[in-house]
Amino acid sequence: MNVLLGGRALPHRTVAFDRDRNAVLLIEQRLLPHEFKIIATPDYRHTAEAIRSMIVRGAGAIGATAAYGLAQGAQAFRGRDLDKFTAHVQTVYQTLADARPTAVDPVNAMNDVLAALRPGQTVAEQQALALAAAEEFANGDVAHCRAIGEHGAKLIRNGMRILTHCNAGWLAFVDIGSTTAPLYAAQARGRTFHVYCDETRPRSQGATLTAWELAQQKIPHHIIADNAAGHLMQRGEIDLVIVGSDRVLGRTGEVANKIGTYTKAVLAARHHIPFYVAIPLSTIDWRLKRGRDIPIEERDEAEVLGAWGVTPAGKRTYIRVANPASPARNPGFDVTPPDLITGLITPVGILKPAELWKHRQSLGHA
C-alpha cells in the first residue's frame, strides 16, 4: 500500500526481498507512527533478530519474513556439497523458528519453502528454488488479502461509518491486510466512507498503526477511546464493524482477537450493527474444541499502567500513568461467540462462523 513521503504516495510492501543485496527489506514498525524507515537485514541472523525484536509483527508479515530469511540463508551458502548445504539450511531454519517460538506462521511458511527443495538437485538449483518458493509464499499472502478485499468491499456503501479495533492492516501482512483489505478495495472502487479507529488500549495499535495506515492511504478517519464506541453506536453513528482475528475455531466459529473485540461485538449486536471478522484461511484452527480452551495470555502489567509515545520535545519515552502503588491485570485477547458475528470475510467468500465445519474440506482442512 501507499506511504506518504515528501508529499508523494509511494507504494510499499511490509516485507520484500532485495536479490542484489541478498537482504530482506522490512519496515521498522517499532518507529511507527512517529517515523518511517526501511531496514535491510544483511544476513539471516539479522532477519531472525528482526522477528524476535518485533521490527516486523503480524501473522502474514512474520511468515513471509521467515520464508525470505530461509531463502536468504540458503543463498549465502558457498560451495557445491549438498549435505553441507542441507545442514546449513537446517541451521537457518532453526534460528528463524526460535525467534518467535510460540508463533506458528514462520514455521508454516518455512515448511512451504523446504517442500520446494527437491532431492537430487544441485546447490545452485536448490538456492533458486528456495527463493522462488519464498516469493511465492509472499505473493500468496498478498493474493489472499486481495481476495478478502474483493469480498469485503461489497459490504461497504457510500457514506458508511465503519468501526475497527486493533490493527490487522497491511503492516501485519505482506501487503493490503485483512481487516483493512475491504477498506482499501472499497476506496479503489471510488466509494467514500469514514473509519473510526478504536485506540485499542493498552498497546494502542489502533491509534498508532491503523490510523497511520489510513492516513497514508488518505482514508478519512477519527481515532476514538475504546470507551466511546458504545456511545457512537447508541447515537446511530456506526454502520459496520470489521475486525481481524488471531485464531478462529473451525469447530465452533468462536473468534479470538485483541482484548476488547468481544465488547464491541456485544455492543454491535445490541444495536443491530453488522459485525464482520476478516481472516485468511490460515487463521482457522481446526483442532481446538472450545473457545474456553484458547489460552489467554496475561501480558506485562506495564502496558496497562502507562503508555509509549513522544514528548512535546520529540523524545520517545514510556510514561507511568497509573497510581505508582497499584498493580494491573492485562489479558491480551478475548473470545467472541459465533452468534455475535454476522460473517467471516475470507479469501473464498463471506461465511457464517457456524458453517466453517460444514465447509471444512473446501476450506483446506485435511
Please report, as ranges, the residues that interact with a second copy according to CB under 8 A: 33-34, 196-197, 199-202, 204, 207-208, 211-212, 214-215, 221-232, 234, 258-260, 262-263, 266-267, 270, 296, 304-312, 317-331, 334-335
Length of the chain as a residue count = 366
As a whole number of angstroms, the distance between CA 195 and CA 208 comes to 14
Given a contact cutoff of 8 angstroms between Cβ atoms, the answer to whether 332 and 295 are in contact is: no
- Strand extents, DSSP E, 122-230: 161-164, 194-198, 221-224
Closer to a second copy by Cβ: residue 105 or 254: 254
Closer to a second copy by Cβ: residue 91 or 317: 317
For residue 21, the minimal CB distance to a second copy (Å) is: 30
Closer to a second copy by Cβ: residue 327 or 364: 327
For residue 158, the minimal CB distance to a second copy (Å) is: 21
Closer to a second copy by Cβ: residue 133 or 294: 294
CA dist list (Å): 174 to 14, 16, 137, 210, 250: 5, 8, 10, 15, 24
Which residue of the set 198, 239, 246, 334 is catalytic? 246
For residue 301, the minimal CB distance to a second copy (Å) is: 8
The H-or-E segment that residue 263 falls in is helix 261-270
For residue 297, the minimal CB distance to a second copy (Å) is: 12
For residue 320, the minimal CB distance to a second copy (Å) is: 5
Residue 247 β-bridge partners: 256
CB-neighbour burial class of residue 355 (10 A; exposed 0-12, middle 13-18, buried 19+): middle
Closer to a second copy by Cβ: residue 57 or 258: 258
DSSP assignment string, 87-147: HHHHHHHHHHHHHSTT-SHHHHHHHHHHHT--TT--HHHHHHHHHHHHHHHHHHHHHHHHH
Is 293 a known active-site residue? Answer: no
287 three-state secondary structure: coil
Cell numbers describing residue 6: 515528501
Catalytic residues: 246
